[in-house]
Amino acid sequence: MSKQMEPAQSYWDARSALFANYYIKPSLFDRMFRSGVYGRVAEAIKCCRDIPGATVLDAGSGPGINSVSLIKNAGASHVTGIDFSQQMVDFAEKVAKSENVDVKTKFILGDVLTHNFAGQVFDFSMALGVLDYTEDSQQFITRISALTTNAFVVSWPENGIRMRLRRHRYTCPLFHYDLEQIQKIHAISGISAANLRVTKIAGGWVTTAKKR
């Protein structure tokens, strides 16, 4: 019998606490098999530290743990998180409050692709664990690039055994990439190969795109 599929939005709406626990209470399994989750934010922190007092867009901010981390560990002056799951937004607001950084954060309920940012742009953007659920990755990267003035960091899952296991388990559509596609998507969005750094992490890659 084929399983019932659902959109990523409702999939994540039911899993805000579960996902947050990858950071808050990581199990041995998480540390061994989900190390990419930690590797990708380490890259984002490294890049954001090079932009003193950066304003940040956390696209697909989920439980907000990484948004808070950029304030606390990368010297960001303000982080705007956006997520299309209400449960994730509520969770992120609670995390920011409990970490006393609520005045430096704002969490918006919305779709990265369609939200009206009213002309606002950000020094630094990140989309970690989001392209896995994004059908039109070209449109997504073009949008992120347009919203960012300095640099953006994005994670990209690869195909392989882990992706096959996830496809078996997850009830929302999942997408994967290869290096050629990643470079082409950036090139179409105006990021040349010279301005793109690709780093291998467990389960895929993380890219750093420099806009200047």
Ligand X SMILES: C[S@@+](CC[C@H](N)C(=O)[O-])C[C@H]1O[C@@H](n2cnc3c(N)ncnc32)[C@H](O)[C@@H]1O
- Residues near ligand X (CB under 6 A) are 8-9, 12, 19, 60-62, 65-66, 82-85, 88, 111-113, 128-130, 133-134
Residue 164: CB minimum distance to ligand X, A: 18
Closer Cβ to ligand X, 75 or 173, answer by number: 173
Number of H helices, E strands in the chain: 9, 7
Residue 190: CB minimum distance to ligand X, A: 20
SS3 56: strand
Q: What DSSP string runs through 98-158?
A: HTT-GGGEEEEES-TTT---TT--EEEEEE-S-GGG-S-HHHHHHHHHHHEEEEEEEEEEB
For 38, phi then psi, to 5°, come to -85, -35
Closer Cβ to ligand X, 134 or 150, answer by number: 134
Closer Cβ to ligand X, 51 or 59, answer by number: 59
Residue 121: CB minimum distance to ligand X, A: 18
Closer Cβ to ligand X, 50 or 90, answer by number: 90
Q: Which residues contact 145 (CB under 8 A, 6 or more apart)?
A: 152, 189, 190, 191, 209, 211
Closer Cβ to ligand X, 109 or 188, answer by number: 109
Residue 134: CB minimum distance to ligand X, A: 6
For 110, phi then psi, to 5°, come to 180, 170
First to last CA, the chain: 51
Residue 40: CB minimum distance to ligand X, A: 7
Nearest position to ligand X, beta carbon: 62
